[in-house]
Amino acid sequence: MKALKIFIVQALLILPAAMTAQEADTIPSAKVITNAQMLGVGGVNILDTYLSPEKYTGMEVRYISHTIRRREGARWSRMLVHQGSFAYADNRSGNGNEISGMYTFTYGVHYNWDLMGGKLNIMAGGQADIDLGFLYNTRNGNNPAQARLALNISPSAAAAYRFRLGKVPLKARYEVSAPLFGVMFSPNYGQSYYEIFSRGNYDHNVVPTTIATTPSLRQMLTLDFTLGKTTLRVGYLGDFRQAKVNNLKYHTYSNMFLIGFVRTFKLTHIIP
C-alpha cells in the first residue's frame, strides 16, 4: 500500500513535466489547409471530328479533390486540384457510343484579399493544368480511339463569402479559370496513330495553343454548410473545353451537380 502511494505521488510529479516536454516538442504549423472531396454527376456533350463528325451526349461522373494551403496572415495561397472523370455518351441515332476518361491535375498560386472583417475573401492569380485521358468510339474499326494530352496556363480567380442564415453558418464560393496558352497533342487531319508511333511520321502533332485556338472556361459555384460536426458542400460545375487544331475540332461540355464534404485543419510538427 505504501509502495502504491509513493508511485502515485511520483506519477503526479512527473506528469506535468512530461506534458510540458510534449508541448515543447510539438510545434503547431501556421499553415491552414482546406480540403474538399466532391463527387459530380451531370450531362456531357462530346465532339471529336478525328473520330466522328457527330456530337455525342450522355452522362459524366467526376471525382474532385480540391485543396487550398495558406499560412495564417499570409497573402499568397497555393491550390492543388485532382480530378478524375468518366463519361458515356450516345449519338443522335443511338447506334454509336463514345467512352471517355480523363485525369486533370491543377496547381495554382493566388494572391488573397481579406475584406469585411474576414467575411469576404478574393483570390486572383494563375494556374497550370495537365490533362491526360482518352476517348473511345465503339463504331470505328480504324482509329477507334483518341489520346488526350495537354498542358495549359490559365489566369484564375475566386471569391468566398461567409454569412449566416438564421443561426446556420454558410459559405458561398465562386471559382473561374480560362486557359490563355499551352500545348496539346493532336494527330493531323487524316493521319493515323500507326503513322505517328509505328512509322514515326511526325506532322505537327505537338501543337502550341492560345486562347484563340482553345477558347475554354471552367467555373464552379459551391455552398458550404455544417451538419453536426461535418461541413458539407453542394454546388455546380461548368467545364467547357474546346479546341480547333490541325483541321480538327474538339469539345467537351460538362454541366454537373456537386456534393461532398470539407475539412479545414492545421499541420502539427513533432520534434523527435
**Span 200-229, pLDDT tens digits:** 788 889 999 999 999 999 999 999 999 888
Q: Where are the alpha helices (DSSP H) in 116-237?
A: 193
For 34-79, write each residue's pLDDT tens digit. Answer: 999 999 999 999 999 999 999 999 999 999 999 999 998 899 999 9
Q: What is the pLDDT of residues 155-168, one digit of tens each?
A: 999 999 999 998 89
Q: Do 143 and 165 form a contact (C-beta atoms < 8 A)?
A: no
Nearest alpha-carbon partner for 43 in 26, 30, 54, 56 = 56
Per-residue pLDDT reduced to its tens digit, 97-134: 999 999 999 999 999 999 999 999 999 999 999 999 99
* Domain range 29-270, CATH class: mainly beta
- pLDDT, mean of residues 167-176: 95
